[in-house]
Amino acid sequence: MTNPARRMQNRLERLQEHLERENPILVSVVGRYRKLDTISSKMGLISTDSSYATQISWWPLVSVLGTFSAGKSSFINSYLGLPVQNTGNQAVDDRFTVLTYSSDSEVRTLPGIALDGDPRFPFYQISEDIEDVTEGEGAKIDNYLQMKAVPSEKLKGKILIDSPGFDADEQRKATLKITDHIIDLSDLVLVLFDARHPEPGAMQDTLEHLVRGSQRRNDSSKFLFILNQIDTSAKEDNMEEIVSAWQKSLVQSGLNTGRFYVIYNKDLATPVDNKTVWERYESKNEADQAEINKRMEDINIERVYRIIGSMESLTNQIEQQAVPQVEMALKRWRKRVFITDMVIFGATFAGLLFLSIVLGYWQGFTFNPPWLANLKENKWLGLATIGVIVLLAFLLHQLIRSKLVNGVAKHLGTDEPYGNVRNAFIKSTRWWRSIFRKTPAGWGNGVRRRLDRIRSDIDEFVQTLNDRYTSPAGKDHQE
């Protein structure tokens, strides 16, 4: 086993050791992910030093994204009950801050390498991904990430991420890479906007990345869109107008799912004289805050279902999307090879036939060149000649099929959730594989049965979870 592959196995083993203490049922889930890795690596969808288990967060993860001055840090401080994050009208922090629980009495700030070098966190070796996106930036991980260990009970069992102000025009590619990575891993994504700037049309780039991007996802329900600092409109009493303007802009940007909330920070708000108006604002804020807090607390349960659901989705995608894509690509490639073979070999045969006629090797319908008699007399020479002709034909065929691979492969995806389909296709066209094989490399009835067994295990995991939280038979959970 190569060093990168061994390192990945060690990482998964350490993950299982942690989960043994934190949530034992997930230890078996990691084992099924490893089985899925074996299947996909043999197919060429992922490399032997990769794992589907590293593409998800095994810890409940809430990310807080939004525009500059949207009140993200104030929201987090209020939720945690501690002044953890700096606040201000301008950008006060240009790094992603990962907030985790600490039993110490004080807040400790650790550099980005604490996240990049620890396989227990969802940012393990993200510096390598940053380097792939922007050369030279991978070594500057501390410029992008920091970790704060916070003595807040609200962080027990979860990770909270505060993002720098999001401005798509000014963000570097590396920062966008981290943003997308965080969104992919999060159980809950809070997208905050600033109610004090009721011109949402001026933020179309931001809306494009945070809003429209969410609609292309299967898990778009995890996005909560929050119009923050709505108390600033209390004096004019035009909350409904501002909310309507934002909702309209979000719909125009593609938002058709996800919940829209309206809140403000009670510690920073200044009540207006009109008590009726202010009571209406307070009522709306309390109701929406309660729903947001409920979603944040429930992610501990949702996290386990999400991880198991992700594995089921991958299992289905491999069989229902990756395999058909490779099979279709093989069919197109095989057709092109056959046509090219016929054209080239047909043209070669026609050219040789024409040349033999010009040279007078045909006597009526009899092919009788002068050198044919020598081949008939020398059996081994004749066999060697036939062998050379067959070898040349084989090499020409191999050259044709290898050259035609790229033309088909370029239309296949390399970064699908279930892996590199292009690489799986290329692996299925290796020279030793017969062109008449219609199934992808590493695929067959045996593999299909292994996937079925993984799906059966998933059903058992879900039933075990359901028994913890529900009781269809009406029995007490402790029975």
Q: Which helix (H) or strand (E) is 478 found in, with range?
A: none
Is residue 255 located within the same domain as residue 329? no
Is residue 84 located within the same domain as residue 220? yes
Strand runs labelled E in 342-383? 362-363, 366-367
Out of 238, 270, 302, a domain closes at: 270
Partners of 62 in the β-ladder: 160, 188
Q: What is the pLDDT, as a whole number, of residue 458?
A: 93
Partners of 61 in the β-ladder: 159
Considering the domain boundaries, does residue 29 fall inside one? no
Q: Which tokens go with 283?
A: 């009522």
Q: What is the pLDDT, as a whole number, of residue 329?
A: 95
CATH code for the domain of 96: 3.40.50.300
Is residue 110 located within the same domain as residue 237? yes
For residue 169, which phi and psi values (nearest 5 degrees)?
Answer: -70, -30
Q: What is the pLDDT, as a whole number, of residue 119?
A: 65
DSSP class of 209: I
Compute the distance between CA of residue 179 and CA of residue 63 in angstroms, rounded to an integer: 9
Considering the domain boundaries, does residue 25 fall inside one? no
Is residue 146 located within the same domain as residue 216? yes
Is residue 75 located within the same domain as residue 210? yes
For the chain, the distance separating the N- and C-terminal CA atoms, rounded to the nearest angstrom, is 47
Residue 323: name the closest of 404, 415, 428, 450 by CA: 428
Considering the domain boundaries, does residue 104 fall inside one? yes
Is residue 251 located within the same domain as residue 339? no
Partners of 366 in the β-ladder: 363
Compute the distance between CA of residue 203 and CA of residue 205 in angstroms, rounded to an integer: 6
Is residue 232 located within the same domain as residue 342? no
Considering the domain boundaries, does residue 339 fall inside one? yes
Rounded to the nearest 5 degrees, what angle is found at the Cα of 167, between the Cα atoms of 165 and 170?
A: 115
Is residue 146 located within the same domain as residue 240? yes
Compute the distance between CA of residue 248 and CA of residue 112 in angstroms, rounded to an integer: 38
Query: Cα dist. 455→309, 424, 460, 470 in Å?
Result: 10, 22, 9, 22
Compute the distance between CA of residue 24 and CA of residue 28 in angstroms, rounded to an integer: 8
Q: How many domains does the chain have?
A: 2
Is residue 331 located within the same domain as residue 190? no
Q: Which tokens go with 235?
A: 């004096």
Compute the distance between CA of residue 429 and CA of residue 432 in angstroms, rounded to an integer: 8
Per DSSP, the residues of 5-30 read HHHHHHHHHHHHHHHHHH-THHHHHH
Compute the distance between CA of residue 303 and CA of residue 384 in angstroms, rounded to an integer: 68
Considering the domain boundaries, does residue 52 fall inside one? no
Whether the Cβ atoms of residue 421 and residue 322 lie closer than 8 Å to each other: yes
Compute the distance between CA of residue 259 and CA of residue 162 in angstroms, rounded to an integer: 20
Compute the distance between CA of residue 318 and CA of residue 165 in angstroms, rounded to an integer: 37
Considering the domain boundaries, does residue 206 fall inside one? yes
Rounded to the nearest 5 degrees, what angle is found at the Cα of 404, between the Cα atoms of 402 and 406?
A: 90
Range of the domain at 258: 57-270
Is residue 217 located within the same domain as residue 332? no
Whether the Cβ atoms of residue 66 and residue 223 lie closer than 8 Å to each other: no
Residue 48: name the closest of 352, 420, 358 by CA: 420
Q: Give the rounded distance of the alpha carbon of 7 from its chain centre.
A: 21
Strand runs labelled E in 233-343? 259-262
Considering the domain boundaries, does residue 40 fall inside one? no
Q: What is the dihedral of CA 402, 405, 407, 412, to 10 degrees?
A: -160
Partners of 225 in the β-ladder: 191, 260
DSSP class of 218: T
Cβ-proximal residues to 454 (8 Å cutoff; 6+ apart), any chain: 32, 35, 36, 311, 315
Considering the domain boundaries, does residue 16 fall inside one? no
Is residue 67 located within the same domain as residue 215? yes
Coil, helix or strand at residue 374: helix
Q: Block means of pLDDT (10 residues each) for the chain, length 479 residues? A: 77 81 82 94 92 82 82 87 72 75 87 78 74 72 85 86 64 68 82 72 55 57 85 85 78 65 86 90 92 87 84 94 96 93 86 72 71 68 72 86 91 90 94 90 95 94 82 53
Q: In what order do the strands lie in the sheet with 223-228?
A: 108-111, 145-150, 96-101, 159-162, 61-66, 188-194, 223-228, 259-262
Is residue 208 located within the same domain as residue 64? yes
